[in-house]
């Protein structure tokens, strides 16, 4: 399989909102590749990633992910869901549970329903969770409760949970927006290295063109629910990236998160 995901002419609008969050979007993700998604706030990045994760309803168009096509009316079968891993913009961790519990949560889709309910992992679950913790450099935090962690540590837990899922496609929604520049580069390094080691495809969204340039092979620019450009890193001009944000700032007044 040379394509991890394929989107053809997909449109979508949130209910009670007139402006579409996705407008005639087409995109293909090469298997094993690392692609960055740039775009200002409200561009539709989270919506696009949620679509690929099979959690969006009532869209129009065609989408296939890891060889199976998605149905706009039904969630994908549960057996296939662990294959696509999602790193949430606001982490979406269970605050009162320990780091280890949260990482095991990523394994729930791989366990039998009874084991999942009881929360009793097998040897293999434990091994996979341990190596995810290890790769994210948080083995020593395993027994800490999430509500006692810093933002950077939470980000690592969120990524470890995703890796524990053993996904073949990793969708990471602004995995470094909450971090200082050094920490951001560290996190993207571990995310992309872990993905490479596992042969997984990565699509990550970001507001930082220089990080996209450094870690991705291809960069997709989004604005107002449309694909503004879709180019290899070497072809991305400074102006194209800057325009993406400048235009949006003038039009919607939402302002910029990070442009350096």
Ligand X SMILES: Nc1ncnc2c1ncn2[C@@H]1O[C@H](COP(=O)(O)OP(=O)(O)OP(=O)(O)O)[C@@H](O)[C@H]1O
First-residue to last-residue Cα distance in the chain: 38
Which residue, 53 or 224, is less far from another protein as judged by CB?
A: 53
Q: Would you give the binding string for Mg ion spanning residues 46-85, x where CB under 5 A is met?
A: x---------------------------------------
Indicate which of Mg ion, ligand X, another protein, none lies near residue 181 (CB less than 5 to 8 Å, by partner kind).
none
Which segment (37-45, 79-87, 105-113, 211-219) binds ligand X by CB under 6 A? Answer: 37-45
Contact assessment for residue 59 and residue 51, using Cβ atoms and an 8 Å cutoff: yes
Closest to 192 measured CA to CA, from 218, 219, 215, 176: 215
Footprint on this chain of another protein (rule: CB under 8 A): 53, 55, 75, 78-82, 84-86, 88, 90-97, 101, 105-111, 113, 116-117, 119, 161, 165
Structure tokens at 179: 């971090």
226 part of the interface to ligand X, by CB under 6 A: no
39 part of the interface to ligand X, by CB under 6 A: yes
Taking only Cα atoms into account, the Rg of the chain, rounded to an integer number of angstroms, comes to: 18
| Minimum CB distance to ligand X, residue 114 (Å) | 34
43 part of the interface to ligand X, by CB under 6 A: yes
- Tell how far CA 40 is from the center of its chain: 16
- Backbone phi and psi for residue 224, each to the nearest 5 degrees, phi listed first: 50, 40
Which segment (43-51, 135-143, 147-155, 243-251) binds ligand X by CB under 6 A? Answer: 43-51
Distance CA 46, CA 112 (A): 30
Distance CA 170, CA 163 (A): 8
Half-sphere exposure of 84 (CA within 13 A, CB side): 26
Which residue, 161 or 218, is less far from another protein as judged by CB?
A: 161
Q: In the beta sheet, which residues pair with residue 63?
A: 7
175 part of the interface to ligand X, by CB under 6 A: no
Site for ligand X in 62-121 (CB under 6 A): 89
Site residues, ligand X (CB under 6 A)? 14, 17, 21, 39, 41-47, 89
């Amino acid at each position: 399989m040379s394509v991890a995901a394929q989107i053809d002419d997909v449109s979508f609008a949130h209910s009670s909102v007139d402006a579409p969050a996705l407008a005639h979007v087409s995109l293909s993700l090469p298997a094993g590749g690392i692609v960055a998604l740039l775009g200002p706030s409200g561009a539709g990045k989270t919506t696009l990633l949620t679509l690929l994760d099979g959690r969006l309803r009532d869209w129009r168009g065609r989408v296939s992910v890891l060889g199976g096509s998605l149905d706009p009316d039904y969630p994908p079968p549960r057996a296939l869901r662990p294959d696509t891993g999602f790193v949430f913009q606001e982490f979406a961790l269970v605050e009162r549970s320990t780091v280890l519990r949260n990482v095991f949560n990523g394994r729930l889709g791989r366990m039998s329903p009874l084991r999942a309910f009881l929360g009793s992992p097998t040897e293999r679950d434990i091994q996979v969770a341990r190596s995810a913790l290890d790769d994210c450099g948080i083995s020593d935090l395993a027994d800490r409760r999430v509500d006692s962690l810093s933002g950077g540590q939470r980000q690592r837990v969120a990524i470890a949970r995703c890796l524990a899922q053993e996904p073949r496609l990793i969708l990471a929604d602004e995995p470094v927006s909450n971090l200082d520049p050094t920490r951001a580069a560290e996190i993207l390094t571990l995310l992309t290295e872990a993905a490479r080691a596992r042969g997984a495809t990565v699509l990550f969204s970001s507001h930082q063109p220089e990080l996209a340039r450094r870690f991705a092979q291809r960069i997709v620019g989004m604005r107002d629910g449309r694909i503004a450009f879709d180019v290899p890193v070497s072809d991305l001009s400074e102006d194209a990236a800057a325009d993406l944000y400048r235009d949006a700032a003038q039009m919607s007044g939402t302002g910029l998160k990070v442009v350096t």
